[in-house]
Amino acid sequence: MFKYLMPTKVICGENSLKENKNELILGTRCMIVTGRTSGLKSGALGDVTEVLKEKGIEYVIYDFIGNNPTIEECYEGGKRAKEAGCDFLIGIGGGSPLDATKAIAVYAVNDMDMYEIFEGNFKNKPLPMAAIPTTAGTGSETTPYSILTLHKINNKQSFSHPDVFYKVAFLDGRYTVKLPLQVARNTAIDAMSHLLEGFTDKKASRGSDYIALEGLRIIGKYADNLKMGNFTVDVCTNLLWAASLGGIVISQTGTTIVHSMGYALTYYKDIPHGMANGLLLGEYMERANKVMPEKVKLAMDALGMSIEEFKAFLKECLPCEVSFTEEELIKWSEVSIKAKNVPVCPFEVTREDELEIYKKCLL
């Protein structure tokens, strides 16, 4: 038996917003949630405001979302959306603004303590949301997850709820074609990580596996573009679709230890999320290969690489100058072994195993 849920309408293709303007209008008054620069740099903010003006929809812009959004930024956004009387939200940006939009949608209609959001039992249905991703990585536009930075616990923590799926997502490579190369690589590797973790996860099913393989085939096809840094709008639209497929996959399966171990690298060392995963992903696939060689072969064939070639690809795409100490790795493994992603890992993993993975990948 397996369950499959994917309630988001995805509109994928060049000019997907301009040709489907009515789909963006989910209410009468809107808050646009975006990063400090991504909305403007991608061109998506200009396109969205043009549509809202044309349709006579009033809007406010909340462009204070930083990388790895904090719970405080989202709580404040919720307060402002409520004060402005907004009844729908549009998230524009990478995973950070898209995740923040989900939390803001909850806070805007619920009088609740900031931390209660992690309990997932809010009384009122979150505001409806539209997503415009400007990175091709997290797949947040097709997941019910929001990952927030929580300084209280010195880590990132996620909440998940079926009511925070976006109603609609517009995927258009025009918004990612000018991404800085390292951001494009990091985010594509995050998408690979979702597809590979989801495919090898104990919760993987027929409902997720064929989607994961399709996503891997697409990214594999454009591996050279990621290495060389040459992108067209069409390539970028395809990479956005692959990232959304990664989101669909992890919506069914969740992620495994690559993600839970990666959070410490981001929190303590400011390593971008996708790069953090990528530093650990090769070793993870080696270990998965020991317990499920046939499945790993399917995944690698879809990517068009052997595990060795995949590791070389990751190394080439992820120059990381950060240094780590054994003490740090010991501390992080003590925390990450308690994550809920651990039991779904395809191989047995103890704190000592996680420490060994950290050491092998980072020292």
Residue pointed to by tokens 């027929």: 206
- Among 38, 35, 44, 32, which residue's Cα sits nearest to residue 175? 44
Is 173 a binding residue for ligand NAP by CB under 6 A? The answer is no
Q: Which string of DSSP letters, residue by residue, matches 192-212?
A: HHHHHHHHHSTT--HHHHHHH
CA–CA gap between residue 327 and residue 60 (Å, rounded)? 46
Residue closer to ligand NAP by CB (options 36, 351) is: 36
Binding residues for ligand NAP restricted to 54-73, rule: CB under 6 A: 67-68
- Give me the least distance between CB of 354 and Fe ion, in Å please: 18
Is 35 a binding residue for ligand NAP by CB under 6 A? The answer is yes
Is 8 a binding residue for ligand NAP by CB under 6 A? The answer is no
If phi > 0 it is left, if psi is from -120 to 50 it is alpha, else beta; for residue 248 that is alpha
- Window 188-217: contact mask with Fe ion (x via CB under 5 A): --x---------------------------
The total of other beta-carbon atoms located within 10 Å of residue 327's CB is: 8
Contact status, residue 190 vs residue 142, Cβ threshold 8 Å: no
Give the angle subtended at the CA of 273 by the CAs of 270 and 278, to the nearest 5°: 110
- Give me the least distance between CB of 35 and ligand NAP, in Å please: 2
238 binds, among ligand NAP, Fe ion, none (CB under 5 to 8 A by kind): none
Residue pointed to by tokens 């959070």: 263
As separate numbers, helices (DSSP H) first and strands (DSSP E) second, the chain gives 14, 8
The contacts of residue 285 (CB under 8 Å, 6+ apart) are: 196, 200, 296, 299, 300, 307, 310
- Three-state secondary-structure class, residue 216: helix
User: How many residues of this chain bind ligand NAP (CB under 6 A)?
Assistant: 35
176 binds, among ligand NAP, Fe ion, none (CB under 5 to 8 A by kind): ligand NAP
Is 20 a binding residue for ligand NAP by CB under 6 A? The answer is no
Is 143 a binding residue for ligand NAP by CB under 6 A? The answer is yes
271: exposed, middle or buried (Cβ count in 10 Å: 0-12, 13-18, 19+): buried
187 binds, among Fe ion, ligand NAP, none (CB under 5 to 8 A by kind): ligand NAP
Binding residues for ligand NAP restricted to 263-282, rule: CB under 6 A: 273-274
CA–CA gap between residue 93 and residue 238 (Å, rounded)? 17
> What does the radius of gyration of the chain's CA atoms come to, in whole angstroms?
19
Is 190 a binding residue for ligand NAP by CB under 6 A? The answer is yes
Residue nearest to ligand NAP (CB): 35
Q: Please identify which residue in 36, 221, 295, 351 interacts with ligand NAP, judged by CB under 6 A.
A: 36
Q: How far is CA 270 from the centre of its chain?
A: 17
78 binds, among Fe ion, ligand NAP, none (CB under 5 to 8 A by kind): none
Is 359 a binding residue for ligand NAP by CB under 6 A? The answer is no
- Window 285-324: contact mask with ligand NAP (x via CB under 6 A): ----------------------------------------
Binding residues for ligand NAP restricted to 80-139, rule: CB under 6 A: 93-97, 99, 134-135, 137-139
User: How many residues of this chain bind Fe ion (CB under 5 A)?
Assistant: 1
If phi > 0 it is left, if psi is from -120 to 50 it is alpha, else beta; for residue 43 that is left
Footprint of Fe ion (CB under 5 A): 190
List interacting residues with ligand NAP (CB under 6 A).
35-38, 41-42, 67-68, 93-97, 99, 134-135, 137-140, 143, 145-147, 156, 175-176, 178-179, 183, 187, 190, 247, 273-274
